[in-house]
Structure 1
């Protein structure tokens, strides 16, 4: 078990071969045995998937950006199927900072907005707080940033 309190700051980028599955709008959105995990103090890992593992035809780029002091500027995507839309459900870094250049063009998704996310067959619990995209599994223990029971971390 990993304690997220022991994760580094600045965050670490860690390659993983765990089986990642993402389901959205009743469809398999992503499936891969190759991912990159961002591990940052008090955050459960955030999972990034290569574009070839994602059903790109279900993604639509949308206006708006956010800035991460470690990774740079993120752009957002909606997940769209027929008339259904999950707004700003995922994001990517097209030109990340040098320390995170491996993330360029890879996608991450908010587990709270998906039908389900799985890591090696275990259903993921979304990180608390609407802004965060961490994946909580039995492999990590908190407290987690965003948890209202730990206002010192919000």
Structure 2
């Protein structure tokens, strides 16, 4: 619980990066029961990169939220949620803490499911309302190399532009030199794109793990990248129309 204690101290002394209200209906499921259902959740940016949902104390069903430990000044406390025979202690609640007063933070993975309106939340945080994902077909040639070995070459691509991040290039499966790729058991979840699967790359006796990913069933906003493969730009050499991209 030390990380939650540290976060509580940081947020009550330094404050969050930003806090905003949202009219979205937000629900949390634990043990087969909705432990909260609210249209008064707050977006809280604990840092500059993406927000979390913080839930008003008044939104919780009676008896599901319980205090298990408090700070000396009683500005925040550690809690637990219990419902349907399941319990999580990944809970941080605030009392008199400025913009976070009477709000509760629950680790996303600690619940069975989060729902924004009727859409299930994917990944470890909600979508940032100021972030946009744009998928655009492009015939610019993309060539991927590692130590001079060509792993892929394609002029039938989809470029994915995501606010504040570098472009990602999604290539057709037929553009791969498959002899260098081996399937990985890794999966991850993105709020904007869905569940990703991965490949490792093996070149000249060197293995680069999880350097290629793809989405079998992406979200609607990222539908154009379905089945296409994307290399982690920072770990390979990427050439766009023959010009090497900076890592």
Please say whether Structure 1 and Structure 2 have the same fold, judged by a TM-score greater than 0.5.
yes
Please tell me whether residue 87 in structure 1 is matched to residue 216 in structure 2: no
Unaligned runs of 5+ in 1: 1-7, 127-154
Which of structures 1 and 2 has the bigger CA Rg? 2
Q: Select which of 89, 111, 114 maps to 2:233.
A: 111
TM-score normalized with structure 2 length: 0.45
Q: Distance in 2 between matches of 1:92 and 1:105?
A: 6
Aligned position for 1:122: 243
SS of residue paired to 1:9: coil
Where does structure 1 differ by over 6 angstroms across 4 or more consecutive aligned residues? none
Q: Distance in 1 between matches of 2:239 and 2:187?
A: 27
Unaligned runs of 5+ in 2: 1-129
Q: Distance in 2 between matches of 1:82 and 1:44?
A: 28
Aligned position for 1:9: 131
What is the CA distance between 1:84 and its match in structure 2? Answer: 2.3
Q: Select which of 40, 53, 66 maps to 2:188.
A: 66
Please tell me whether residue 45 in structure 1 is matched to residue 167 in structure 2: yes
> Is the CA contact (8 Å cut-off) linking 1:21 and 1:119 kept in structure 2?
yes
TM-score normalized with structure 1 length: 0.70
Deviations 1:47-66 (A, max 9, x none): 11000111122111111211
Q: Distance in 1 between matches of 2:153 and 2:188?
A: 26
Aligned position for 1:32: 154
Structure with bigger RCO (C-alpha 8 Å, 6+ apart): 1
